[in-house]
Amino acid sequence: MKSASQILQTVFGYESFRPPQDAIIDTVIAGRDALVLMPTGGGKSLCYQIPALARPGCGVVISPLIALMQDQVNALRQLGVRASFLNSTLGPAEAAAVETALQSGELDLLYIAPERLTQERTLALLARSQVALFAIDEAHCVSQWGHDFRADYLQLDLLHQRFADVPRIALTATADERTREEIALRLDLAAAERFIAGFDRPNIRYRITLKHNARQQLLRFLKEEHPHDAGIVYCLSRRKTEDVAFWLQEQGFNALPYHAGLDSDIRADYQARFLREEGIIMVATIAFGMGIDKPDVRFVAHLDMPKTVEAYYQETGRAGRDGAPANAWMLYGLQDVIKLRQMVDGSDGSEAHKRAEQHRLNAMLGLCEITACRRQSLLAYFGDQLPQPCGNCDNCLEPVTTWDGTEAARKALSAVYRTGQRFGVNHLIDVLRGSEAERIYQYDHHQLPTYGVGKDLDANQWRSVFRQLVARGYLRVDMDRFGALCLEEKCRDLLRGDETIDLRRDVARKTARQQTRTA
Ligand code: ADP
Ligand code: ZN
């Protein structure tokens, strides 16, 4: 039998493993189960392909991505691997030929769609054949908590029951802690060895900056750091991608808009230009990026905050694939928090689904508000570890200070309470700062005990307080009442004086050039 590294070299033509590929492969070859979390492009395929070749019998790969099976099989066949697939795109005669090949031991790898695998017919066929291993790709599809839930995946625990001696390896690129536990539970993989690695992208510098004048901030970032570079600017709405792209053109940049509403010819043309020409800035919605492999994207800028850490990681991950320094730069402000909270609350779906979405959004907000190393926090979200602060994120480069915001938070919460939880941030700030605005008198708010108690902070500082209170779940945004802020249960201890709160001191960040100058 050939060793794993011999197969790597002779069949796949690679020099060495990327850790922890070797450890994973050893585990599966030895007949033990594995649960693998690696980002897209991390090299998951080899983790089951090599054990399939090293062990006697055929490796069975369960994947929901029917459209990709043909390509995967073709690529393997070019390397001389005996691979086939079984899914609904095959006619009866073709399927029969694959089944015969499997039974006669003429296959190294067989890709099967989950709904096919769980048919009694297929299970009987596998029982008559020699199976080297089961690889469950896109394992997060088993999670009802996730986005890509597939009911067929829930039945995959039968693999363990029916084929107790066959090792199983489950793989996924997206799994927060809760999803990981669900995979382990539902696929009966609690005893499996876990491998989580490869999420760190050390050449990407993460920065999340307070939004005050988005366009000017973007312009300054581009002029100072990326005057001629290719990059992506993500926006939430189609309209905004066009506005920003045309505005950037006026400022002398080679910018193009991209969103799903554009004609497919135009989209294809812009995408081709982005790949081929140098220094193009794509101003895009999340519709842009899937499957685009451009190594020298020097920056990814977010003008709006993504809804989840997964999305943030995936979108920023399109920068710096060549390993050279790249920037992940994001603007973030109170309006983002309010808008996203409203979107999640207003989304249809079950209560459980909404709670899951809220939870994900909270994690993203947490990443924006933390004062410690962003990379450590980002990697921890995926279960990957970084022992030391990275030294290559804004919080590491320019440490953030906190202040005791207990008193300010109490004033803010009491302003919300006294005004009947019916008003938005701007009015609340007017109350706190004792403004003479007409609306104040209209509602008799100059009579409130909280009127004018917050003159010690300016409007921006109050904004920062409210933002952090919303981000951290003390205040809720009521979408049925046009963004009115309401108290959450969590406020109680703070109002009663049983809890204190440290807030992030928002500062105008220096630019990267100033950072290097002072470094
Ligand atoms: P994933 O499934 O995790 O998204 P793939 O298995 O498709 O990733 O691998 C991504 C790319 O990395 C592929 O081009 C693959 O051939 C390459 N690759 C994987 N492992 C190695 C290795 N040890 N050495 C060199 N290239 C590798
Ligand atoms: Zn850091």
- Write out pLDDT tens, residues 135-178: 999 999 999 877 788 999 999 999 999 999 999 999 999 878 88
Q: Whose CA is nearest to atom 27 of ligand 1?
A: 43
pLDDT in tens, 239-283: 999 999 999 999 999 999 999 999 999 999 999 999 999 999 999
Contact of 375 with 206, CB cutoff 8 Å: yes
Provide the pLDDT confidence category of residue 42 given band limits of 50, 70 and 90: confident
Region 282-310 average pLDDT: 92
Provide the pLDDT confidence category of residue 198 given band limits of 50, 70 and 90: confident
* Residue 5, ligand 1, Cβ within 6 A: no
Contact of 160 with 168, CB cutoff 8 Å: yes
Of ligand 1's listed atoms, the one at least distance from the Cα of 39 is 3
Going 243 to 249 to 255 to 256, the CA torsion angle's sign is positive
Contact of 56 with 30, CB cutoff 8 Å: no
For a substitution probing ligand 1, which of 5, 10, 11, 14 has the most ligand atoms within 8 Å of its CB? 14
Residue 508 is predicted with a pLDDT of 60
Region 372-401 average pLDDT: 94
Mean pLDDT of the chain: 93
ipTM of the complex: 0.98
pLDDT in tens, 54-65: 999 999 999 998
pLDDT at 510 > cutoff 70? no
pLDDT at 462 > cutoff 90? yes
* Pure H helices in 79-145: 92-103, 114-117, 120-128
pLDDT in tens, 321-354: 999 999 999 999 988 988 888 888 787 888 888 8
Of ligand 1's listed atoms, the one at least distance from the Cα of 8 is 23
* Residue 14, ligand 1, Cβ within 6 A: yes
Instruction: For residue 250, count CB atoms less than 10 angstroms from its CB and return exposed for 0-12, middle for 13-18, buried for 19 or more.
Output: exposed
Residue 519 is predicted with a pLDDT of 35
